[in-house]
Structure 1
């Protein structure tokens, strides 16, 4: 389980936000090729996925588990 209140997680989030800002700045470059833009957008999506982990885990925790009838 990930402790989303830990200083380690907060440090990671800070780093990811910095990386997002850098990537968004790079993505605004009109000289980029379509492949370069796609690669940057993919990295942005990966970072956003990581940043959404607390919300995803909270939602998952609220979902009922499989019942015995499901087996």
Structure 2
């Protein structure tokens, strides 16, 4: 019900003043398809992964101010 649209638009707005990484962990990968269509025009970084171990490691990345997740799974 608009969750992907909300996350992607919020990330775009936040990326105007922050380094943003969106992580799509939803098995449907709706945000990943959105990001693929945007290509180089996407104003923030994007990752798609459903492996909890990989997702937990994203917290340790340097250089990002905000990491919103589009998720079905919550760590």
State the TM-score, normalized to the length of structure 1.
0.32
Structure number, greater radius of gyration: 1
State the TM-score, normalized to the length of structure 2.
0.30
